[in-house]
Amino acid sequence: MSVTKNAAQPLLRVRDLNVSYSTAGGDVPAVQGVNLEVRPGQMTAIVGESGSGKTTSAMAAIGLLPSNATIDAGTITFDGRDITSLRRREWRELRGRRIGLIPQDPNNSLNPVQTIGASVEEGLRIHKVGTAAERKAKALELLERVGIDDPERRYHQYPHELSGGMAQRVAVAFALAGDPDVVIADEPTASLDPELKSSLFSLLRDIADADRAVLLITHDVTELRDAGIADRLSAMYASRFVEQGAASTVLEHPHDPYTRALLAALPSGGMVPIPGFPPSLVDLDDSVTFESRL
Ligand code: ATP
Ligand code: MG
């Protein structure tokens, strides 16, 4: 399967997606009616408060929803192929090589009893890419690229020997090792200091500029606006996308009250937190809108 290198063609396409979690308190509709297109050469961002459904959308797109989650409706396609309900074996072919994930919790990609080097090389080993020496060289190069000092020493260390910020960057190296066509980055800068944040954002932008499709998830609109790296932006509130468009337009002239409130909560706007809390997703119906919080 060759990738269609046409910016007009989305590589990853999500259509009318509904995902719910089965919990002791009832079914939680975490994602409702989500439509998303992620194109090569572009960075598409999803912003939204905690619990709005960002990670659930990402996990559905890479076939890693937890066992209590169900895709109730909708389709997900990758390069024209329906991947909504692939088998585990089929996912092994795609994951890492075609679609890579930088997970919100880096511990999800790092095996605690495996060295950093072995973890970063894992995807290459599974897909039998290169010789052992070539895989090691690639791992060291990636560790350097994500800003790990002394990669040779870190290569032989274990995850518990890393700081949170380092583990996060190693998880980025892990996700990039297979040179995937789509990179999904779920809050990749959460535990990084400002300098590392900005270098990771530049790295993600470089990946998009190298004709890969990047989906960046963040709750921090400030960071995203200041970085100026996103091409498309979707704002998510209580399981739904409330606004989508060109990132510059949405950031400068948001239409939806929620997007406006997210932007007004920025430090430059005086750090006014959005009043109240997002609604409980249990018993959520169409009458629940963000306006009711204002
Ligand atoms: P955050 O910014 O905190 O990472 P998010 O936007 O990524 O939030 P999700 O993690 O997708 O949000 O969660 C969406 C909703 O689904 C929330 O109400 C959350 O409590 C619920 N949820 C997430 N994971 C599970 C799970 N494994 N079981 C039950 N409910 C879950
Ligand atoms: Mg999340």
Tens digits of residue pLDDT in 49-108: 999 999 999 999 999 999 999 999 999 999 999 999 999 899 988 998 899 999 998 888
According to DSSP, residue 95 is labeled: B
Nearest protein CA to atom 31 of ligand 1, as residue? 21
> What would the two tokens of residue 47 be?
């912003």
Ligand 1 centroid – CA 6 distance (Å): 34
DSSP secondary structure, 244-292, as one string:
EEEHHHHHHS--SHHHHHHHHTSGGGT--PPSS-PPPSTT--TT--GGG
Quick one: pLDDT at residue 8? 58
Confirm or reject: Cβ of 51 under 6 Å from ligand 1. Answer: yes
How far, in Å, CA of 202 to CA of 177, rounded? 17
Quick one: pLDDT at residue 6? 47
Ligand 1 centroid – CA 247 distance (Å): 24
Average pLDDT, the chain: 90
Confirm or reject: Cβ of 48 under 6 Å from ligand 1. Answer: yes
Tokens 């337009």 correspond to: 249
pTM: predicted TM-score of the whole model, two decimal places: 0.90
CA distances 130 to 11, 91, 95, 126, 179, Å, are 26, 21, 18, 11, 13
